Structure 1
Amino acid sequence: MRSQISNLKVSAPQFTFGSITLAVVTLACLYLHAQFAATAFAYLLVVLLFSLMGSLIASSALCVVAIVALAYYFAPPAFSLRIDDPQDLPVVVAFFIVSIIGTHLMGKVRQESQAAREAAAKLRISAADLEDREKRWQAIFEHNPAMYVMVDEAGTVLNTNTFGAAQLGYARSELIGHSILGVFLEEDRELARECIRACLEDIGQSRTWEARKVRNDGSVLWVRENAKAMLWADDRPIVLISCEDITERKRTEFALQRSEAHLAQAQELSNTGSFGWNVVTGEAFWSKETFRIFELDPQTVPSPDFVVERTHPDDRASVQEVIDRAMRDPKDFEHEYRLLLPDGSVKHIHARARATRTASGDIEFVGAATNVTAERQAEQKLRRSEAYLAEAQHLSHTGSWSWDVHGLDFVYRSAEVDRLFEFDPQETVSIETIRSRIHPDDLPGLQEVQRQAIELKEDRFEYDFRILLKDGGIRRIHSVAHIVVGNDGCVSELIGTHMDVTEQYAARERLENTLAALRESEQRFRDYAETASDWLWETGPDHQVTRLSEHTSTAGILATGLMGLLRWDIACDVEEEPEKWRQHRATLEAHLPFRDLVYRTVNRVGSPIYVRTSGKPFFDPNGKFLGYRGVSTDITAIIRADQAEQQLRKAQAELAHVTRVTTLGELTTSIAHEINQPLAAIISNADACLGWMGRETPDLSAARSSVEWIIEDAIRASEVIRRVRALAKKGEIEMVPLDINEVVRDVIVLVTRELVSHQVALRTELTAALPMILGDRIQLQQVIINLVMNGIEAMDAVRDRKRELLIQSSMDDMGHVQVAVTDWGVGIAENDADRVLEPFFTTKSSGLGMGLSICRSIVEAHGGRLSVVRKQEPGVTFQFALPLHEEIVS
């Protein structure tokens, strides 16, 4: 209805003004006497013009009015609606058709124009609205407190928000157009690449991952990224990524993980496990170390019943009593008990717990269980070692004592001290008695050493002195002592040991005399070698000497006296070695070169000398033999040096033997223990055998077993004696194939007691199936014993850490068999590292400085090398490498 009224409002003015216009055109055409066709054209223009106003009805009415006016006024007869002229009728029809079609077309054009204008208006409104929305979303995108990134298929950044770029320390322009992978930590780039690829393979599916990004300043932040791929307007896929900064969360997680790892590591290092026990619910919690101590699967649900089940039968009642008491009266408790593990081993556990109340009001015990097995075993060993000490002191001629510096009296002295000083064990020894037994020349020095130690509060000091024996003899003593400071800060006691080193001093004197002779002999033959020289010679075809160089005079040979002589006329050993000279003459007759012919002759004063000569035949251009030319060398010094070297080696063997014997004296405790054990077992088994035989019906089977055990223990004792005799025996070097691990194990048997007496823990790392070496078992045992004893002595002063000795065998980088002995002692000063292997160099006040030098000589005689390795931590490593058996043989 509203549309019809609107059309009527448009049609009425259009028809009115159009009719007026047609009237004006009609009057004008009548006045101008216009032709029928011209008038029709004018009417057509008016109709088409007013059709632009938009009403088809009005335009059609105007068309009818125009036709009527055209027929009435201009078609003959005039002023009649009849058309008599047949030519005017087509004009009228054409006018009507054109006007109707034109009016219709003009209306269509106007409608489309109107629609276009309306569409344009709507488009302008939509564009403004879209721009407004874009500004709002752009503001949200830019200022959202999260990083948003848009990347293409290649990972290139298409767009990013300002906040996200600033979070990484970049401007947006610095990121757009660059690969998104560039801001990821290098280790996480492959992860990011794979996640983006997965998004592109599954359009519309969200994916989340965590990775690390690198800020512009180089710092790293953790991000949690959520990404989704979508198709762009041109069906080109893009990936939208939102990033959340989770750095603080990650730091918290890492800190928690590190704290848990540190707690677990601390529990493992301290052998202490934690536990929790809710008395009301019965729930229990054990740490990983607690499960390890109880040797239970961590998947096991812990409970007090497991504790009782693993407890040693002798301790179960007390453990159950502690648990029952805790349930009745929830108070803190502490107790110690033993575990009996499935493999039969026993652990000592010290447990402490504190009663706490949970948030729900339940009583809960929180505590710790510590494995104190090592401490308890150490206490047992200490008590056992105290029993060994007295016997060890007697065997090693070492006595211990404690001296009251105020009362000037012994607080304690062992039986061995009484033996060394020839005191009556029952008598009270005064200071005057002690001084009367010390050599007068040594007494002032001994008193001064003790005085300085007391005044300067030196923790450790050593000194040597001599004891005058009742029979007039002298006993040399080496003493090691340290001070004891009382509560008042003053020195109250001196505690130390006296060791009888009389035999060592005698051995040192013999060694010094031997070495002095060796050095003199070595220097003499070195002078011979340095003054030796070569000379040239020439013989004719008859092998008579025709020319000698002037250098013969340096060897004491008069050249003029040798001219015209044959070589075998000059030599003095032709009758002694006829075969050598027969072969030499055959070589000369064959005109062949010869090399290194050695013979003996005499110089011009008649002294014998040794000559080494080599020659080559020479010929004329026609090949005629002309004689020999060659060179001769006076090797008298070399021959005599070889003889001296043999004497030196003999002396070194004597020296090594003396050192072995001295070492055996130091190892008497170990040797005695190793022999006493099987002897005690033999006695026990013999008693048992007599018991079995003494029954009314003798038990022959048990007696036979006892006899077999006696035989085994006798063989074991015999083997120890064999080893000791082998070390003490003075014999020739016997180079045989050896397994170095067996040599090490033989040494360990001999030094076990020394390790125990010095409280040194021995650890071995022997590589299995090492190749055989070629060597002398006794000499290599001496090397290893010396290195072990040095390591033990180096740790005597250690008080602040565990005394440990490590023996290792392995293959070195050169393919040689290597043995290393490592101690954790006082180490070697940097200035002494290069001199420690030299003869007579020692860091010990009582040492000769020959032990390591002898070891080096033995190792080098085996084709190996002895070296010292200084460590960063306390201690030092001595190691030697020996070639394989096959290398020496080949």
Structure 2
Amino acid sequence: MTLTSLYLHTQFAATAFGYLEMILVFSLMGSFIPSATLFILPFAALAYFFAPPTFNLDDPRDLPVVVAFLVASIVGTHLIGKVRREREVALEAAARLRRSEAELRDREKQWREIFEHNPVMHFMVNPTGTVLNVNTFGATQLGYAPSELVGHSVLKVFLEEDRPFVRERVGLCIKTVGQSHTWEIQKIRKDGSVLWVRENAKAMQWAEDKLVVLIACEDITERKRTETALRRSEAHLAQAQELSRTGSFGWNVATGEVHWSKETFRIFQYDPSTEPTPQLVVDRTHPEDRAAVRETIERALQNEEDFEHEYRLLMPDGSVKHLHAVVRAFRNASGDIEFVGAVTDITAAKQAEQQLRRSEAYLAEAQHLSHTGSWSWDVHRLEFVYRSAEIDRLFGFDPEQAVSIETIRSRIHPDDLPRLQEVPRQAIEDKGGHFEYDFRILLPDGAIRRIHSVAHAVVGSDGHVSELIGTHMDVTEQHAARELLEKALAALRESEQRFRDYAETASDWLWETGPDHRVTLLSEHTNAVGIPATEVIGLLRWEIARDVEAEPEKWRQHRATLDARLPFRDFIYRTDTQMGSTIYVRTSGKPFFDADGNFLGYRGVSTDITATIRADQAERELRKAQAELAHVTRVTTLGELTTSIAHEINQPLAAIVTNGEACLGWLGRETPDLSAARCSVEWIIEDGIRASEVIRRIRALAKKGEVEMAPVDINDIVKEVIALLTRELVSHQVSLRTELAPALPLILGDRVQLQQVITNLVMNGIEAMQAVRDRPRELVIQSSEDDMGRVHLAVTDCGIGITEDDEDRVFNPFFTTKSSGLGMGLSICRSIVEAHGGSLSIARKQEPGATFQFVLPLHKEVVS
């Protein structure tokens, strides 16, 4: 603009007008501030180029032009900017209006979609019951298109017998406009099938004051089916409670209301017609447990907490039951405290638990005797979770000494160490499994001990291996017969694995048979014990069992019970698993009938009792091992008494030689003295008999055989032991005093084992007095009959005695106060005495020394 005006030599006013037009045009394109900045440049150009001299407005005509230029520029720019802003506001408002209309249409579309496809049936009917509208989901669920229902009576989708009820409900909604009404009813689909719905209806005013009824229908078919199944499950639960001996109960503390199941009445042996109260429980509770039961209940009431406890019942017939109760506390809808729980008769389990504790002690002793140790290895932390004392002994360590993993690995042969490290890695890769391997232990003295190990991988809930559980067995002596041993161990591992699997997965399972006694239902628990339900369905129980031919009478009686349709309990039979192994099953059942009394079959519960059977077998093996140990102890004792035995035999032999020489002397005279020679021969015979008797007693002690129970006199056994130990008493300068009650009654026992007990007690007394120097060494053996009519025997010494701390441990296996003892003597003695029905104990005495005593029942008591 400036260059054009200079070229054309335009007047000042014309140039200013041109600049003004340019400024106004630019103001249409931008805001006020850029336009205001823009007119500064034209003003400067006017002043510099078109009003010389520069910035000097001497011509009075130029000043108004400049002022007019400035005012016009500012006002024009402002007005144009205001118009532009108002236009933009109007355009923005129009855009918002269009967006609102689009959103409204989208919302309407969404609500229509929600109505059409809402997973609840929606009907709109008029007062006459004609369908005015129905959503697509509802029509589809009934098998119709919406057009097939609209304009038709709503009664079309209801059963004939329910239509009067529907008319009554619709009429009620019309009478109570605005109020909701709910009911449950069945509807008919187009294909004739039926579904249950829960309808919620309300009448409301529509256009032109017309009434319409809106009905929302919720499909409750599955809930109805569940309720039916629940009622059936409740019936099954009642039968399962009876079969598993578990009762249930409920107690509202505020109202005192108590509910017992039928099985609970049976457990407590109360008549079902009796009104149950908490006091009935207290009355049946064993007197020794009543205080604990009251304290448990009071604490639960005070803290409003769940509790679980065990207690005993003293029944009217004097028997004792063990119960386990699990109780949950909660507040009901009224805010009152209620307790619900279950009580289980665990008497059999308690007896088995006591038996198990004894078996554990036997097992620990058996591990030491069989040189077999058990262990558990954490595959993630690479350390032992558990290892028995026998493991340390196998590696040559003291069980009381802490040993690191590196120290244990240093004892393993270098060639075998990679194999041991490979087993955990392979278990992790295979995610479980059973492993057997051999390795060698290098003992500090250079000896090599060969170990056979059996391991089992434990898979956690996450599907990964968490532990390895196994055993180490010393097979050094059996290495020469390895092939035979491996075959035996294979059978042992299979039996062990089977027993472990049963122990880990055993549980009760439910079953059901039809009128023909064939299995129709079996719970999935059987898969865990190796009896797939699919293979058992349709079979008879005697087709599943494998002892029908072996025990025909048992099965004849069982089938007679089934044919008579009588309940049965604790029937035991053998069967085979899918893998071919044998298990023992205990089963109980009762018949069930329909409403008309027709026999439908049996329902019951079965339990895998293989573990109990195997435990009994294991206990017999432990008893056999105990007898072996007792025999070894007797032989060891004979070895220690070699000097005394030799003296006892040499004495009569020397007398025989002397009397034989004397006899020859009497016969060698010119006139043989036959009378004196006869006396010498008689003495020779007596000494021979005495030597023979000593040898007989030694052979009896060394004999290995079965226990022979027979009536014996305890005094005779004491005398036989004294005759054997006389040399030991003399060599240790111990005087013996006996106080044997005459005419004691006979007891039933094994003579050799009782000799072993008395010999052990006497030898312990002799050894306890070795350090005595300030008083005579005297040993006293007393026999008597106690107040209960039992035979009592006591061995008293005046030795160093036994401390109070050691009194409770002296009978424990492997505990000894001797520097060179194994600690098994007194433990074996106690086992022998207890096997004879008696007890071995320590009697307290004030003077120095110790008294060991035992009592044994009379012959008739043991037999009875």
- If the length of structure 2 is used for normalisation, what is the TM-score? 0.40
Rg comparison, structure with higher value? 1
